[in-house]
Amino acid sequence: MRILLGTHLRRLRESKGITARQAAATIRASESKISRIELGRNAIREIDVLDLLTLYGVSAADREQLLTIAEQANRPGWWHRYNDILPEWFQAYVGMEEAARAIRVYEPQFIPGCCRPRSTRPRSSRSATSRLKSASGTSSSARSASAGSAKDALSSG
């Protein structure tokens, strides 16, 4: 949640053309503290959030939403009980996972069967493809011909 809050604060600051030095002066802090807050590395007091939101000219509705995020960001997550066994670098990932609304998977070393050439597809992908063809109305002779070519490809590979 700290990363989410920090990202929002940085976008607001940059959209208003306010420097980190000006923001730091508003909350009586250093530029490096602003940087750490915006990167989600430091907790931020609610009064500092209020001061920054006033400086950035944030509307009342957005102010409430960001204050709620700030309150949640300062609460320790469930994984903090496991500080002694979880490496520090991993805790950031757990925090992002908890704050996420959706998780999408990116696997650069995995190519789904449907994207592979027929000859290299796993057997289950080939049978799934033939089931899809049969459901779409491919004639039985075309299906048997493609099944034969699949058997030939298997036996020759």
Does 107 map to a domain? no
Does 16 map to a domain? yes
86 and 126 assigned to the same domain = no
pLDDT of residue 31: 94
pLDDT of residue 4: 85
67 and 119 assigned to the same domain = no
91 and 144 assigned to the same domain = no
CATH of residue 22's domain is: 1.10.260.40
6 and 60 assigned to the same domain = yes
pLDDT of residue 2: 84
Q: Residues in the chain with pLDDT < 50?
A: 125-126, 138-157
Q: Is 73 in contact with 44 (CB distance < 8 Å)?
A: yes
43 and 75 assigned to the same domain = yes
Return d(Cα 63, Cα 65) in angstroms, integer. Answer: 5
Domain housing 134: 113-156
- Which tens digits make up the pLDDT trace of 10-40? 999 999 999 999 999 999 999 999 999 999 8
Does 105 map to a domain? no
Does 134 map to a domain? yes
92 and 124 assigned to the same domain = no
- The sign of the dihedral angle between the CA atoms of 35, 48, 7, 39 is positive
pLDDT of residue 141: 46
- The sign of the dihedral angle between the CA atoms of 73, 79, 82, 84 is negative
pLDDT of residue 29: 93
Predicted TM-score (pTM) of the model is 0.55
